[in-house]
Amino acid sequence: MQPARVRTAAYVTRNVPGGRELLVFDHRDHPEAGTQVPAGGVDPGELLTDAVLREITEETGVAAVTLGPALAVQQRPHPHTAQPRVTVFFHAQTTEIRDTWTHTVAGQEGDQDHGLVFRCYFIPVEQAAGLLADNQGEFIPLVEQLNIPTTTY
Question: What is the pLDDT, as a whole number, of residue 115?
Answer: 85
The separation between the first and the last C-alpha atoms of the chain, rounded to the nearest angstrom, is 48
Question: What is the pLDDT, as a whole number, of residue 153?
Answer: 47
Q: Are 25 and 107 in contact (CB under 8 A)?
A: no
Pairwise CA distance, residues 3 & 10, whole Å: 23
Pairwise CA distance, residues 148 & 143, whole Å: 9
Question: What is the pLDDT, as a whole number, of residue 117?
Answer: 94
Question: What is the pLDDT, as a whole number, of residue 148?
Answer: 73
Indicate yes or no: pTM above 0.85: yes
From first to last of its 153 residues, what are the pLDDT tens digits of the chain? 678 899 999 999 999 998 999 999 999 988 999 999 999 999 999 999 999 999 999 999 999 999 999 999 999 888 778 889 999 999 999 999 999 999 998 866 656 778 889 999 999 999 999 999 989 999 999 999 988 766 544
Pairwise CA distance, residues 96 & 101, whole Å: 11
Question: What is the pLDDT, as a whole number, of residue 85?
Answer: 93
Q: Are 90 and 66 in contact (CB under 8 A)?
A: no
Question: What is the pLDDT, as a whole number, of residue 107?
Answer: 67
Each domain of the chain, given as residue ranges in start order, spans 5-145
How is domain 5-145 classified at the CATH fold level? Nucleoside Triphosphate Pyrophosphohydrolase (3.90.79)
Question: What is the pLDDT, as a whole number, of residue 103?
Answer: 96
